[in-house]
Structure 1
Amino acid sequence: MFKFNSLLVFILSFLIFSCGSNNGNKKSDFSLQIDQNKSKFKLNDELKASILNEKNKQIDSVSFYLGEQFLKTARSTDYNLNLQNVRLGNQNLRAIIFYENTSDTLSKNIQILNTEAPKLYTYEIVNSYPHDISSYTQGLEFHEGTLYESIGQYGKSKLRKVDLKSGDVLKEVELDDQYFAEGLTILNNRLFLLTWKEGEGFIYNLDTFEKTGTFGYNQSEEGWGLCNNGEQIFKSDGTERIWILDPETLAETDYIQPTTHKSVATKFNELEWVNGKIYANTYTYPSVAIINPENGAIEGLINFKDLNKQVTQHDKLDVLNGIAYNPDTDKLYVTGKNWDKIFEVKIVEK
């Protein structure tokens, strides 16, 4: 995972600007040019850039960054930047020019796409289990063999502990009417629950369902889905970003952008961690993306078309939403909003 220390970034930025950066209102003496004015690249491409120095300033060195990720430092005016091991999506290429005891920062917005199209998958139904037909499912997750579910809508939002085989509710807590429950995840005996537009999430004691704290969203726009890899928490907000959260403070420290070979994707809702990948359903579509958490590459797409035809049809039947992976049994389960079944499924490559 590409990590950066926010304090270190702040200190370096302070040093750069305090030594006389030409940023601000003063026009730069330099300009950053990309060969053929390209703005779209593929992972592992070589980006050719140059610094135009019309006033012939004495350049000491130029350091290139993609977002906060360091690429290289050199002394020439022409640069070949290899886009290996970088994050995909909409990125900001920065060149920090050090010259004559001062510095200047230039930037260009570029887009980096994956090299390969996502692999396509379909599904086979292995088994089905009863599910509360009134549950507007938002989050679904196994922990130590037990299923936990969050249910949305204003005035109807709940957090539940559920027996998979019978569908019985083992424990339940209702949210106040002003909250719309969204995704959940469980880490270190704490259950984290998002709300939709209310700008905060809730922390519960896993055993008692007692609410022990709250957390804010900082930069993300809304609360959609959550999952974790045992060390970090991942959060979707309906935009092109999946945020990476500190598991202790819940601060949004970084993000990835789910990206195919053609475009940057949005509207990822329910998230689930499955064998080192993030599984994410696209809201209102019967599909689940398989996302590389290191760089955001969408490596696969699972088509769950017609699965909704296997449940009781009624006027409140809604979209696929709810992915739960049981690591103890290596089994994957999916359901939907107001579906009366949870399905154990086998994923099959087309």
Structure 2
Amino acid sequence: MKKFNFLLLFILSILIFSCGSNNGNKKSDFSLNISEKKKEFSQNEILKASISSKENKNFDSVAYFIGTKRLASGITADLSFELNSVLLGNQELIAVVYYDSTKDTLQKSIKIMSAKAPKVYTYEIVNTYPHQTDAYTQGLEFHNDTLYESIGQYGKSKLRKTELETGEVYKEISLEDEYFAEGITILDDRLLLLTWQEGQGFIYDPNTFERQGTFAYNSSKEGWGLCNNMEKIYKSDGSEKIWILDPETLAEKSFIQPTTNTAIKSKFNELEWVDGLIYANTYQFPSVAMINPENGTIEGIINFKGLQDKLGNKDSLDPNNDVLNGIAYNAATGKLYVTGKKWDTLFEVKIMEK
């Protein structure tokens, strides 16, 4: 009798669990269809999709999503949605079909591209300042008119404060040899420093450089660049994603994908918040992308080609480690500065549309 009761209970539990949702173990009775079988869209296009049933099975309602954004819901099987309010990049179109007290979740991968090509910008050198040639620059940031810099490479990673006019280092600490320092940003009297492949970042007091804690990366595997807009923290990891971190817990909550009208871009290294946009240099290229943080649109590209020719130590640089890297914006003065790995010069630049 005990065996029978146990078996009955086991069967009933399976039946109850199965009533909630189609968990993917059986083939759905419904299909998600995108008009013209398209897989790539521009953000100014209308996405049209529908639900069909192979055996004319009835459903109660359908809810459509791109990622977590609800597009529409109701008893109709059809979707017609203008894409100008969704995130760009690689996305999942999801349809949740409710029927017979259960539901099926269907999805298809799509790409959403920017509606316009990015504008092209050039630069004018306004001023030049000395820069320490031992600095394998990873992060560069102004805070209270003080210039902070993080320096990478194993066994050589450092965090320092420098004097803009002279390039003099007036405070510096070294990281342990097992850490490769990456980008930095300062928010709410916390200096955040990424490490490259060590899976964690460090929290410092920006005045004393006393280490106050650590934070994990969660979903991303590497640390590249950081910036903030006083409310959110943005983190690059070398992939096509720029992560948005919770400013309190520093957990990766969501992400954008920097996208043009033709491609989803990656390898963004140093990040800087400049007048509502994320400025991001592309690793090993003399260019900086101007990224809309709301949806990932690359609105502009600053071409810094030729800037390296202005260096005093150009001929002595290792060609594998001489790239543009380091963007600092002083919001109090409206001035923008750039440098590179082991460059002897920090440039104040003015950006102009080409």
The match for 1:329 among 310, 326, 333 is 333
Tell me whether 324-333 or 57-66 shows the greater mean CA deviation.
57-66
Q: Which residue of 1 aligns with 2:347?
A: 343
- Runs of 4+ with deviation above 4 angstroms: none
Q: Per-residue deviation at 1:345?
A: 0.0
Name the TM-score, length of structure 1 as normaliser: 0.94
The one-letter amino acid of 1:344's match is: E
Tell me whether 69-78 or 39-48 shows the greater mean CA deviation.
69-78
Deviations 1:108-128 (A, max 9, x none): 000000000000000000000
DSSP-derived class of the 1:59 partner? coil
- Is 1:73 aligned to 2:73, yes or no? yes
Q: Per-residue deviation at 1:82?
A: 1.9
Q: Per-residue deviation at 1:47?
A: 0.9
Q: Which residue of 1 aligns with 2:85?
A: 85
Q: Which residue of 2 aligns with 1:6?
A: none
Q: Which residue of 1 aligns with 2:175?
A: 175
Highest CA radius of gyration, 1 or 2?
Answer: 2
DSSP-derived class of the 1:23 partner? coil
- Is 1:64 aligned to 2:64, yes or no? yes
Q: Which residue of 1 aligns with 2:275?
A: 275
Q: Which residue of 2 aligns with 1:247?
A: 247
Contact 2:72 2:79 in 1 (8 A): no
Q: Per-residue deviation at 1:80?
A: 1.2
Relative to 1, partners in 2 of residues 1:19 and 1:206: Cα closer, same or farther, differing over 3 Å?
Answer: farther
Q: Distance in 2 between matches of 1:18 and 1:45?
A: 38
The match for 1:315 among 308, 314, 317 is 317
Structure 2 gap segments, 5+ residues each: 1-16
Deviations 1:202-259 (A, max 9, x none): 0001111000000111111200000000011000000000000011111000000000
The one-letter amino acid of 2:272's match is: E
DSSP-derived class of the 2:36 partner? helix
DSSP-derived class of the 1:84 partner? helix
Relative to 1, partners in 2 of residues 1:65 and 1:131: Cα closer, same or farther, differing over 3 Å?
Answer: same
Deviations 1:233-287 (A, max 9, x none): 0000000000000111110000000000001000000000000000000000000
Q: Per-residue deviation at 1:19?
A: 5.3
Q: Distance in 2 between matches of 1:147 and 1:349?
A: 27
Structure 1 gap segments, 5+ residues each: 1-16
Alignment of 1:186-201 (within 5 A): 186-201=186-201
Relative to 1, partners in 2 of residues 1:60 and 1:121: Cα closer, same or farther, differing over 3 Å?
Answer: same
Q: Which residue of 2 aligns with 1:286?
A: 286
Identity %: 63
Q: Which residue of 1 aligns with 2:36?
A: 36
Q: Which residue of 2 aligns with 1:20?
A: 20
Q: Per-residue deviation at 1:55?
A: 2.2
Q: Which residue of 2 aligns with 1:204?
A: 204
The one-letter amino acid of 1:120's match is: V
DSSP-derived class of the 1:324 partner? strand
Q: Distance in 1 between matches of 2:18 and 2:201?
A: 38
Q: Which residue of 1 aligns with 2:100?
A: 100
Deviations 1:273-328 (A, max 9, x none): 00000000000000000000000000000000010111122133610000000000
Q: Distance in 2 between matches of 1:170 and 1:142?
A: 15
